[in-house]
Amino acid sequence: MFVTEETLKKPSVRHGFFGRNGGTSEGIYHSLNCGLGTEDPAVPENRARVAKALGLAPDHLLSVYQIHSAQCLPVTAPWAERPQADAMVTDVPGLGLGILTADCAPVLFCGQKADGKPVIGAAHAGWGGALRGVLESTLEGMAALGAAPETICAAVGPCIGQRSYEVSDAFKLPFIEQDEAAAQFFVPSDTPGHLRFDLPGYVTRRLMLAGVPEISVNGSDTYFNEMDYFSYRRTTHRGEPDYGRQISVIVISE
């Protein structure tokens, strides 16, 4: 139902990168669609299953209204209505920070305060959010809660891989204007005037430049691995009316 990363296996912290299997959705949403923005009546039950798998109350599995920004919110309690943001941090036990994706990179974080208590974070890192600084905002949010930078670990979950991510030549410009070394994440495509972009590689570089000492990358390509993951780009290429979203969650044990 979900995979974990050794990087995040710390005392008092649970996490899971969930795929599309193990839920009750039908049709194009089959089967563990957790996207609140979809017209799928099975989403509440699916999210309840995810919450149960991580020992959470259903209303303590939280996700934001993602807008491809650098906005990171500190979380202290469940909310009735999703705020707009693309990352969350907390030091409160029992609150599941959930990131919804369907090709973008979910990034989960954990660190420690000086007294050893955990601080966690979760970020939605599509190309736009990563370029705008959502990863750095998450690290800043964790530091504001007392996380020592040298203790912070990050795991990049399943996302679209470079062989699947064809972009125009012009797409590259803002990346190299910000960081010339980002050119390494673009390679020629078979299509004239196009390139292929390495999103997980770029996300990893941003984390490294931000000083994260321990980073893992899942490596699963959501576009090609149809049996296990939803993909916005795959749906678009097929002309389907909508697509499901998988969820990645991290929580401090109570």
pLDDT per residue as tens digits for the range 3-37: 999 999 999 999 999 999 999 999 999 999 999 99
Helix (H, G, I), strand (E, B) or coil at 207: helix
pLDDT of residue 1: 83
Cis ω before 31 (30° cut-off from 0): yes
Residue 149's CB is within 10 A of a number of other CB atoms, namely: 13
What one-character DSSP code corresponds to residue 241?
S
Q: What structural domains and CATH numbers belong to the chain?
A: 2-161+219-244 (3.60.140.10)
Q: List the one residue out of 52, 13, 19 whose CA is nearest residue 218.
A: 19
Residue 25's CB is within 10 A of a number of other CB atoms, namely: 21
pLDDT of residue 208: 98
Residue 95's CB is within 10 A of a number of other CB atoms, namely: 23
Sign, Cα dihedral of 224, 4, 144, 95: positive
Do 152 and 111 contact (CB within 8 A), yes or no? Answer: yes
Rounded CA-CA distance 210/26 in Å is 41
Contacts of 192 (CB under 8 A, 6+ apart): none
Rounded CA-CA distance 181/205 in Å is 10
Contacts of 9 (CB under 8 A, 6+ apart): none
Pairing of strands 214-217, 153-156: parallel
Rounded CA-CA distance 169/40 in Å is 36
Q: List the one residue out of 38, 62, 58, 30 whose CA is nearest residue 248.
A: 62
Contacts of 144 (CB under 8 A, 6+ apart): 74, 89
Rounded CA-CA distance 117/147 in Å is 9
Phi then psi for 162, rounded to 5 degrees?
-60, -40
The low-confidence residues of the chain, meaning pLDDT below 70, are: none
3-state helix, strand, coil in the chain (%, to 5): 30, 25, 45
Q: Answer yes or no: pTM beyond 0.95.
A: yes
